[in-house]
Structure 1
C-alpha cells in the first residue's frame, strides 16, 4: 500500500493541475506545432544543402591556367572536403532530429528500449503489457496504441516528463489536465518514481483505473 504521505502529496499535485472542465483539445495545436517545426527544419536543411552544393561548385571552378602548377584532383578533393566539413555535422544533427520528429509510436518505443539497454521482455513486463500485445506493436510500424499503453511504457522505460510527452505525441496523445490519471502519472515521472505497484496504489486511492 502506498504511503499515506505520498498519497497526500499527489493529492496536492492534482489540486494544483486538475481542471475538470478543460477539454483535451491540445493535441491538434501540439501536433500543428510539430508539423511547423518539421517544415522549418526541412526548409533549413534544403537551404544548407544548396549552400553546400554552391561551395562544392565553386571549389571545382579552378583557373585552368594554373593546372600545370597544381594537382587539380588533389586540390578539388581538399577544397570539397574542407567545404563540407563545416556543414556536415549540422546536417547530421538535423537529420537525426528530423528522423525522431517523424518517428511513429512503434519506432520511437523500440528505439527507446534499445537506448536503455533493455530487452523487449523486460520492457513489456515492466509495463504490464502481454507478449502478444507487444508483438503487434513491434510488427506494425503504424500500430495505434491506446493512451493507457503509452503511459505504461513511459513508466516502464523510466522516462523524463519531456520524453514521456514525446512518446505520447508520437501516438497522437498529450497529457491532459482534465485527466487525474495523466496528472498522477506526470507526478511520478516528474519525481522519477517508477514503481508500478506504488503508482497503482495511488491511482486506486483516487478512483482511477490501474495498470494491469
Structure 2
C-alpha cells in the first residue's frame, strides 16, 4: 500500500529509511528523536550528525541507519507550534516534502515517518495529521514509494469530533451483528412461550394449545418480518445487477445486458474507468494501490483483488452505492450490515465523500482494515 497509517515502533520498522523529527542542531533530544538515537547507537549517530553540523526547520539531511533495520535516517526539524500564524503549516509541509524527495534521491522504495511536531513541539495532532496526509499524497501523485505514518496508538490519530459523531450515529442506526440478529429472534420466541406457559390453566388444555399455536405463529411471523427486513436492507446495499448500469454507458439491447451479467471484475473496472473519464494512473493513485497490482488486475481478466482493494477502486472512481455493489459482486464480495467495516464504507459513499485517506483515518480509529492494496 503506497500510504498507510500503522501502529508501530518506528525504530523497529524494516524500511529503507525512517524519518527523525529532529532539532535544528541535530542533537539527541527527547520523544521520537531520543528513541531513534538510542536504537541506532547514540554515540555513532551523534558523531554523524555533528559532521553535518545542523539543519534548518523544514529541510532534510540523511545519515546511515547504523544499528536500525532501516538503511538511512532522514533528519528533518519540524516547526514549534506558536498558534499557527508563524508559517508553521508551510514548514511542516516542507518537512514531509523535502524528506521524501531526499529519500527518492537515495533510491529508497519505502519510508516511515512519525507524526512530526505533534509531540514536544506542540502541534495540534489533528492539524499535524491533515498536513502530513496532504503532503504525502501530493508527493505520491508523481512518485512510486511505500510511505508509512507510524504512531504508537490510535489516540495519536485525531479525527474531527463532528465526523466521528456522524459516523457513530450511522453505525448505531445500521450496524447489526449476526449474533444480535439471532439473539433477537430467540428472545422474541422465548418471551411468547413464557407468557403462555406462565398463564396456563391445567383445566384448559385445548385453549392452551390454541394459545401456544398462536404464539408459535406470531414468532414465525416475527422471523419472517426480520428476514424480509434483512432482505430489503441487502437489496438497498446490493441492488439488482442490471439496475447498477443506469449511470454507466447505456445498454443497447437485452443481449448486451445478459452478456454483462458474467463480465469479470477487470473488464467491469476498465469500462468504469472509461465511463468516468479517468486515467489508469489517476485511479490507482487515488485508490492507494501499487502500480504493479493495478497492472496485474488490468492484464489478467481472471484476477480477483481483495475486498479492501476492490472497495478502494470503487472509492477512487467515486461510484455510487449501486455501482459499488455491482463492482464488488464481480469479485465475489458484497457490503453487509453485519460488518462494521462495510457500514463505515456505506456511510462515506452515501455522503458522497470519496477522500480515501479521510476514510482510512476513520477506519483506523475503529480498528478496521485500511483501504488500498
1:13 aligns with 2:170: yes
Residue matched to 1:95: 255
- What pairs up with 1:28-107 in 2 under 5 angstroms? 92-107=252-267
* Residue segments in structure 2 that go unaligned for 5+ positions in a row: 1-125, 127-158, 182-230, 243-250
Structure with bigger strand share is 2
Alignment equivalent of 1:149, drawn from 302, 306, 309: 309
CA distance in 1, matches of 2:263, 2:346: 23
Question: Is the contact made by 2:311 and 2:371 (CA closer than 8 Å) also made in structure 1?
Answer: no
- CA drift at 1:34: 7.0
Alignment equivalent of 1:195, drawn from 334, 338, 355: 355
Distance verdict in 2 for CA 1:34–1:117, change over 3 Å:
closer
- CA drift at 1:180: 1.0
Residue matched to 1:47: none
Q: Give the TM-score taking structure 1 as reference length.
A: 0.65
CA distance in 2, matches of 1:193, 1:4: 17
- CA drift at 1:93: 2.2
Q: Give the TM-score taking structure 2 as reference length.
A: 0.38
- Flag the structure with larger Rg: 2
Alignment equivalent of 1:136, drawn from 296, 308, 318: 296
CA distance in 2, matches of 1:183, 1:34: 19
CA distance in 2, matches of 1:132, 1:178: 33
CA distance in 1, matches of 2:166, 2:290: 32
- CA drift at 1:139: 0.9
* Residue segments in structure 1 that go unaligned for 5+ positions in a row: 38-90
Question: Is the contact made by 1:7 and 1:205 (CA closer than 8 Å) also made in structure 2?
Answer: no
CA distance in 2, matches of 1:184, 1:100: 29
Question: Is the contact made by 1:18 and 1:177 (CA closer than 8 Å) also made in structure 2?
Answer: yes
SS in 2 for 1:143: coil
1:181 aligns with 2:341: yes
Question: Is the contact made by 2:273 and 2:279 (CA closer than 8 Å) also made in structure 1?
Answer: yes
1:3 aligns with 2:160: yes
Residue matched to 1:116: 276
CA distance in 2, matches of 1:210, 1:92: 38
Structure 1's consecutive aligned runs of 4 or more residues displaced over 6 angstroms after TM superposition are none
Structure with bigger helix share is 1
